[in-house]
Amino acid sequence: MENLEQKKWITGSGNDVSFFKAVKLVKEYVDRGSKIFIGSDSFVSGKKTCFATTLCLHGGEYGGRYFFYKEKVPKNIYNQLTLRITEETRRSVELAEILMDEHGFNCKDIELHLDVSPFHANNGTSRLSDAMRGYVQGYGLSCRLKPNAWASQSIADRHSK
């Protein structure tokens, strides 16, 4: 597992925040009825692939808020769509697992948003939808696919470029 605590986390308004401070804020939001939404996306540019993972909060008394981190890796490591989608999903699952195992969050408070289309969409990512959904559900987590996967499709997408 990566050390997510060491990553450079950023608030939705562009301020640096430690992972521990973000988790503290997440706890406050969840205690007031918010739900956690996690999504990842990637973008290939030049010789690099940039992955962005978001930790979003919505609902309850406070409205919405999000945190994210980005990581650029050599393009040749994830040079196929299947590899990138699998890595995006793995990163989201990893963050959810850390929140549950190390910080006491309940899987019922977490929903993963996958940047894949449903199987019936018949496009590049749709052939991966059943496998990625099964991967997430194997961890006891729920997930949404496009077009309902806003944490990955909108927020992570914005920060992966």
pLDDT digits 0-9 by tens, 100-117: 999 999 999 999 999 999
pLDDT digits 0-9 by tens, 34-43: 999 999 999 9
Coil, helix or strand at residue 4? helix
pLDDT digits 0-9 by tens, 86-104: 999 999 999 999 999 999 9
pLDDT digits 0-9 by tens, 30-65: 999 999 999 999 999 999 999 999 999 999 888 899
Using the predicted structure, report yes or no on whether residue 122 has a pLDDT greater than 90.
no
% the chain with pLDDT above 70: 99
| Cα dihedral 72→78→82→86 (10° resolution) | -50
Using the predicted structure, report yes or no on whether residue 2 has a pLDDT greater than 90.
no
**Cα(106)–Cα(32) distance, rounded to whole angstroms?**
14
Question: Domains along the chain?
Answer: 4-159 (3.30.420)
Return the beta strands (E) in the chain as ranges: 9-11, 16-17, 35-45, 48-58, 65-74, 110-113, 142-144
Mean pLDDT score of the chain = 95
In terms of C-beta density within 10 A (0-12 exposed, 13-18 middle, 19 or more buried), how is residue 51 classed? Answer: buried
Using the predicted structure, report yes or no on whether residue 121 has a pLDDT greater than 70.
yes
Q: How confident is the model at residue 1 (pLDDT cuts 50, 70, 90)?
A: very low
pLDDT digits 0-9 by tens, 71-84: 999 999 999 999 99
How high is the pLDDT of residue 120? 82
Q: How confident is the model at residue 119 (pLDDT cuts 50, 70, 90)?
A: confident
**Cα(146)–Cα(135) distance, rounded to whole angstroms?**
17
CB atoms within 10 A of CB 130: 12
Instruction: Report the predicted TM-score, pTM, of the whole model to 2 decimal places.
Output: 0.95
